[in-house]
Structure 1
Amino acid sequence: MNQRYTINPPIQELTELFKNQRNFDALASSIEEPRVKVHEAISKMAYVYEKVRNAVDYQEEHLIRKNAIKRMLKRRIITKERGTVISEPLIRELIRAGYLKNDYFPEKRIPDIELIVNKYITLINLTVGQYQTLQEKKKNKTFDWIISTAAYEIQEYLSPSIKDDALVESMYKIIRPNLELINEIPNPEDRDVQIYIAIHRALIKSDQAILRYHLIYYYAPEWKYMTPDEIPNFAQKLPELQTRIEHQINNKMSDRLARYMKKFAPLFIILKDVVDQNSDKAEEMLANPQELEKAITKACQKKYALASSKLTRGVFRSIIYIFLTKTIMAFIFELPYELIFLDHIILLPLAINVIFHPVLMALIATSIKVPT
């Protein structure tokens, strides 16, 4: 008789969600409806610009789109545009820059983006815009806090992280009952929040803006569908909510818990890939040791290939960044110095200074090997 594994209820829930989500995605993409489309030639120029910008302004790959939304949104809000004016140009700009697929986003969903943008613009006007007595530094910090949260909410609407959130939930349900380390936190509610924060950081590498978004909806779920008439009351409570959220994010246990969760994160990352790649037969496969081993091996091979590709892209971006900064420094400081004080340019030291560090970075990169 063949051995069979018993599947934990949280894992069963995860497999069911992945299967349903796959069917939903297939159905949504098959519906014929007007979608936002931009000119291909203009898109290529914007795409190249974003690639160069991201090479210079280095950041984690999974945060690039969120940070791009924040940058674009911030620029438009500063110019006093309203959500009705911002939303469609924002979507088009994201498509041109390669952050959304062309001819994919339904036009009928643009008003939903308008509601999100207007909600946050109203909140900004009621906090940063009204309290003139606030110190400039504090006003800027509050503005950035709100914009960062708005950017992630827009990203969540454009591309919901349903699978990542489900994975976080599964990891929480499996680890939480046996986690003794968390008992060092006296408040039971704070314990649960700290576990979620640690899992987010270890498993899906959530930054502070993403954590703030989730904590806002944890403490104030009504914010999601709040009407304009209700926002002033929410704005009055925002400073207290900010303090509460920042206290949780910066809790002294956060880093310690995140380090603990990192020991288990690879298991759940591979689990996600295995279930995602076999969503139609995931439960049957997870219960079968032989099939599960094959699926894990295949998922690991794909993960290593992806890691190798990400490493190559990361090295390339780093080399471009170092080369550009060294070249700029040479033109700003070294060339004027040699022309003013030496009356001529010594090319060899200048060339070495510009080229040496990128070449060294490339040589170091070739020595880094992804596990097989």
Structure 2
Amino acid sequence: MKIKDRLFLPIFNFIGWRAKIFGDMEEAYLKAFLATIARSQAPKETKENETISVSETVSAAASVYENVRNALEYDEEHLLRRNAIRRILKRRFGEEDVISLSSDLLHELIWARYLPNNAVPTKTLDEVAAILRKFQPLFVQAEEAGKNTHHFNLWLLDVLSTEIEYKLSPPLVEEGLVGLVYQNIKSRLEWATSQIKPEDRELQLYVAVHRAVLKSNRATLRYRVFVLYFPDWSKAPTSELVEHVAGRLPQIIETVENQLNHSSGERLFRFVRQRSVAFTILRDVCEKHSGDIEDILSDEKRFRQAVAEAAAIRYDKFRVRVHRSIIRAIVFILFTKSILALLVELPFDRLVAKDSSWTPLLTNILFHPLVLAVIGLTVHIPEKKNTELLFAELQSVLGLDKVKILRFSQRRPWAKGGMGILFATLYSLALLLFVGIVSYILHSFDFSIVSIFFFLFFLSLVTFFGFKIRGSRRELVMTEGTGGWGSALFDIFFLPVVRTGRWISIRAPRVNILLFFLDFIIEAPFKAAIKLIEGWLAFLREKKEEI
């Protein structure tokens, strides 16, 4: 069976529900999505299952450590738990006792409050252990990959950590929404490009939808594409399937990576992102009015009101999230910059440059967070206009108005040929000009070469973080303004700086000495101490109960 023929099979197998065909395919997927919401909102069975319990005292300490550690690695909030799972597995890499590893993994996640205390059933230990066990032959195969061993191990850690997170917190509604968006866009989409082969189009569309709707990162996409090829893997794979995957691991990794690295992937993602905004509001409306959603959809006035209310709530949540992102980014910049200032910049200025002025040091510490705050706090959404556009789009999506046909085409890339070389040269010159002007100004204020380097380094990071935070409005805004002369000047001088910041942010974790120090020097003994303290407290409780 080709992947395009079973693209949705893993999704509906995963949520444990198969769409019943009601005559119209889109209606079937909408009904499937509504059924998923209804199940997610149904009262949970209150069985007297034994749960995993940890000490609140040690949990508080572990949570503080985790917050400090996350401050050094600025990332999206919805990725923090999966990152923690991956980090724990990487630290414990090579252990063969999957039961012990499963137990320690769950305890660490509960300590750090990624999972609730006294809520995770003890049977989850065996379920996670089963996942770890089936990956063991794959890691054995990766060790025989020669120069690719490191890459294969990291790839498997991505897939493994994502599958464990899916087991611990199944994203039922989220995956159902991905299926709904995919099916709707697919039914309206005309492919006007030859750069995506017909046999790859459905998979590329699915990847783009997953990125746009759920903001999935590379690790999540690796897992989702992998289980599209092997839908039985996420259930209870046979030994033959595990052996087959292990034996063909290099080819499987190459196939998945080729799909994720498709040359048209970014362009298709941007195309889908703009057209998937309305579905977020549709989800909110369906969740709030799951009992009478059909009546609301049939009444234009009620539907318009429901959309307006859902959009208003989303706008408020967006502002809160932006402010929280700004604070996290500022903490990251302040913390990292202060440490570098004390360890590198201050000694250089005092011992080498013989400069006793505090102005460069304080400027480097305080200027960048201030710039980031200004960039982030000026984010604006045209709420009234955007809500009207959302309502109109949803009417089209649901067939309540004229259905809009979508057409995906690709322009000729400017980065090729003589014009591409010319534009790349001008682009580089703009970056050099900006660096030169800023360096000259800073030098006139007696900044040392190290201070200038750190100023430019963190300025590029700040502009990227600010650009990323401002860009998050695309999750809700249906259309973007074309911009004027101000936007054009920004693109000419600051876009190269933003892209430099992006390049640094992608590669910084690989060379982040502080993260390495925490992950491999501090974390292991710290977690061992927490485990020892928790054991001691449990021992004391037992002795107290004996009295």
Q: Aligned equivalents of 2:294 and 2:287: distance in 1?
A: 12
Counterpart selection for 2:327 from 299, 316, 323: 316
Please say if 1:112 is aligned against 2:123: no
Q: Aligned equivalents of 2:375 and 2:199: distance in 1?
A: 46
AA aligned to 2:61 is M
Please say if 1:42 is aligned against 2:58: yes
Contact 2:98 2:129 in 1 (8 A): yes
**TM-superposed deviation, 1:367:** 2.6
Contact 1:12 1:283 in 2 (8 A): no
Deviations 1:195-219 (Å, cap 9, x if unpaired)?
Answer: 1111111111112211111121111
Please say if 1:328 is aligned against 2:339: yes
Instruction: Map 1:1-372 onto structure 2 (within 5 A).
Output: 8-23=27-42, 26-28=43-45, 30-78=46-94, 80-125=95-140, 127-131=141-145, 134-135=146-147, 138-181=148-191, 184=194, 187-224=197-234, 225-228=236-239, 230-341=241-352, 345-372=356-383
AA aligned to 1:38 is V
Q: 3-state SS of the aligned residue for 1:106?
A: coil
User: Bigger relative contact order, structure 1 or 2, given CA contacts below 8 A and separation 6+?
Assistant: 1
Q: What TM-score do you get using the length of structure 2 for normalisation?
A: 0.62
Range moving further from structure 2, 258-267 or 173-182: 173-182
Deviations 1:271-302 (Å, cap 9, x if unpaired)?
Answer: 11111122222233222222222221121111
Q: Which residue of 2 aligns with 1:3?
A: none
**TM-superposed deviation, 1:242:** 1.2
Q: Aligned equivalents of 1:154 and 1:326: distance in 2?
A: 35
**TM-superposed deviation, 1:163:** 0.9
**TM-superposed deviation, 1:360:** 2.8
Q: Aligned equivalents of 1:266 and 1:368: distance in 2?
A: 18
**TM-superposed deviation, 1:229:** 6.1
Flag structure 2 segments of 5+ consecutive residues without an equivalent: 1-23, 384-547
Range moving further from structure 2, 228-237 or 338-347: 338-347
Identify if the C-alpha distance between structure 1 residues 68 and 314 changes in structure 2 by more than 3 Å, giving closer, same or farther.
same
**TM-superposed deviation, 1:81:** 4.5
Contact 1:120 1:147 in 2 (8 A): no
Contact 1:335 1:345 in 2 (8 A): no
**TM-superposed deviation, 1:62:** 1.8
**TM-superposed deviation, 1:156:** 0.4
Q: Aligned equivalents of 1:281 and 1:82: distance in 2?
A: 50
Flag structure 1 segments of 5+ consecutive residues without an equivalent: 1-5
Q: 3-state SS of the aligned residue for 1:280?
A: coil
AA aligned to 2:345 is E
Deviations 1:36-84 (Å, cap 9, x if unpaired)?
Answer: 1211121122212222222220112222211111111111124x24211
Deviations 1:116-170 (Å, cap 9, x if unpaired)?
Answer: 0121133101x22234xx11xx211100000000000001001111111111111
Q: What TM-score do you get using the length of structure 1 for normalisation?
A: 0.89
AA aligned to 2:292 is K
Tell me the percent identity: 32
AA aligned to 1:116 is I
Q: Aligned equivalents of 1:84 and 1:218: distance in 2?
A: 28
AA aligned to 2:99 is T
Identify if the C-alpha distance between structure 1 residues 87 and 100 changes in structure 2 by more than 3 Å, giving closer, same or farther.
same
AA aligned to 1:329 is L
Q: Which residue of 1 aligns with 2:457?
A: none
AA aligned to 1:93 is E
**TM-superposed deviation, 1:309:** 1.2
Q: Tell me how large the CA RMSD over aligned residues is.
A: 2.2
Contact 2:158 2:219 in 1 (8 A): yes
